[in-house]
Structure 1
Amino acid sequence: DEPEIVAVARETIELAYLVAVQHLAPRPRAVLILRDVLGWPAKDVAEFLGDSVNSVNSALQRARAGLRERLPAERQDWSGGEQDAGTRDLVRRFTDATVATDIPALAALLRDDVRCSMPPTPGLYVGRDAVVNDWIESGFEGMKGLRAVLTSVNRQPAVAFYLWRKREGAYLPLTIDVLRVVGGTITEIVTFHDDRFPRLGLPERLPADGTE
């Protein structure tokens, strides 16, 4: 009946939750998954990990505290589901601006406290300025030859980007941006590497003639 346990039990498998979990140390992460996700008793977890019950309980408290620091405050309002016209238009503008590598246009779509991460690569950028500076420093403005395919991940809008490869004569998978939209602005971008394309049933390549 502890409030923390109730809150975790109600948490859906959201991308932000997965991003938060990856920032936990290995043992607290393992304890959190065994206790709060799989529902194992503390005694069983302690036996499985070769540890004491007190140690397991302490690790669980640290893990829960770590999640509270990483998860956005409005997560209880997330509902997913069908996208409204405003969200579809926002995703379209995000897609167009990304393909054009237009950073000012992208920045205009972000909320002030936007969060950006690229698991499993370490690092979490919080705030529009931090995200935009990362894009500039990574040389995003100079990236040309992008194409995009709209998709969804965990009921959230997502955009799969392909990059033109002259040697192969085709657009090949690059990254997938999963967006969280709240109040008509983008509040979070989680970027995944090209190894996720097959799992989402995305094309292995896009031909040069523009057909898929």
Structure 2
Amino acid sequence: MTSVALGPTDQLDPRLLEHRRELTGYCYRMLGSSFDAEDAVQETMVRAWRSLDGFEGRSALRSWLYRIATNVCLDSLNGRNRRALPMDLAGDPYPPVPASLAGRRPPTAWIEPVLDRQVLPEDADPAEQAVARESIRLAFVAALQHLPPRQRAVLILREVLRWKADEVAGLLDTTVASVNSALQRARSTLADLDARPAPRSLDSDDRELLAKYLDAFERYDIEAFVQLLHEDATQHMPPFEMWLRGAADIGTWMRGPGSECANSRVLPVWANGSPAVAQYRPRAGGGHEPWGLHVLEIEDGKVAHISSFLDLDSGLFVKLGLPAAFD
């Protein structure tokens, strides 16, 4: 990544760069977009670099960077509509027919995925890793977007990053009482949305299920694929508004409108704290091109939900650092 103001980011002070990953995770939770988060962190680094000589060390460098990042995110969110997932917008599932693809929104309307390696700490203990993983789950990130920006910052800092109330008050230039009040309101909103994260471990059964998913999809064995899904499993496919409910309807879709995905190649990845699949669809003229990143929610040994983020003309794979082709 390159900054117009600074040149390559590897020319920045190493003290700034060592906080880049955790700041990206913070900005992602705030903004609901991995690409906006990268831009926000880049702007944070630019501002910090320009002011580093005047940084007097009255607070820890990490706290100072979070203050800058918070201000960048709050500025970015000013006047912006919240990002969502298709199931948040449509009350009823769509039928598995081509006409269901009629509704489509721009990329800025949707929550975007993030790869675990972009935002999760490498050296945290297992308990901290579990909390961090749950705090980037798609449902939780989507729920955060319902909160006013300052409440969102308070909840992330207090409950995800475990900052003390007085530390958050100092960062936001407010009082401890105001922080506690904002936290209570944020908690109430998330409770109404039933979106509080509950840490869970990724066990060998999840990895085995992912392997079966990869195998069934690559062979395009829809009968085997459907057997991996809960009976009431759901799937949505941003940028389209449509979503499906039921393993049977998902299977019908794959045999019908989705049949062009036959003979795809797939790669296992980890995104939004969950197993995920990068799919490359056959390209006219040969080879395979990026098509969709499928983030899987697994419950009780089966897939409960599939978030299929389609690349289309968004450049999703390149922006996430995934291979631009499958050779």
- TM class by shorter chain equals 0.5 to 0.7
Q: TM-score, normalised by structure 2?
A: 0.44
Are 1:101 and 2:223 an aligned pair?
Answer: no
Deviation digits for residues 175-205 of structure 1 (CA, Å, limit 9, x no counterpart) = 1112233433223322223344235542211
Equivalent residue letter for 2:193: L
Deviation digits for residues 10-38 of structure 1 (CA, Å, limit 9, x no counterpart) = 95343774334436765x25244222013
Determine which structure has more spread, i.e. the larger CA radius of gyration: 2
Where do residues 1-212 of structure 1 align in structure 2 (5 Å cutoff)? Answer: 11-14=131-134, 17-22=137-142, 28-39=147-158, 40=168, 60=186, 63-68=189-194, 76=198, 78-80=200-202, 83-84=203-204, 86-118=205-237, 122=241, 125=244, 127-129=246-248, 131-132=250-251, 135-136=253-254, 139-167=257-285, 169-194=286-311, 195-198=315-318, 200-207=320-327
**What is the aligned-residue identity percentage?**
26
What's the offset of the Cα at 1:157? 2.2
Deviation digits for residues 149-174 of structure 1 (CA, Å, limit 9, x no counterpart) = 1222255322111011124x321111
What's the offset of the Cα at 1:99? 2.6
Secondary structure in structure 1 of the residue aligned to 2:323: coil
1:103–1:141: 8 Å Cα contact kept in structure 2?
A: no
Gaps of 5+ in 2: 1-129, 159-167
Point out the structure with the larger strand share: 1
Equivalent residue letter for 2:198: Q
Counterparts of 1:56 and 1:132, CA distance in 2: 44
User: What is the aligned-residue RMSD (CA, Å)?
Assistant: 4.1
1:149–1:160: 8 Å Cα contact kept in structure 2?
A: yes
Structure 1 pair 102/66, CA: closer, same or farther in 2 (3 Å)? farther
Point out the structure with the larger helix share: 2
What's the offset of the Cα at 1:59? 6.1
Equivalent residue letter for 1:205: A
2:318–2:324: 8 Å Cα contact kept in structure 1?
A: yes
1:97–1:103: 8 Å Cα contact kept in structure 2?
A: yes
Question: More relative contact order in 1 or in 2 (CA 8 Å, sep 6+)?
Answer: 2
1:115–1:189: 8 Å Cα contact kept in structure 2?
A: yes
Counterparts of 1:88 and 1:64, CA distance in 2: 30
Equivalent residue letter for 1:175: G
Structure 1 pair 122/173, CA: closer, same or farther in 2 (3 Å)? same
Counterparts of 2:192 and 2:141, CA distance in 1: 8
Counterparts of 1:110 and 1:16, CA distance in 2: 23
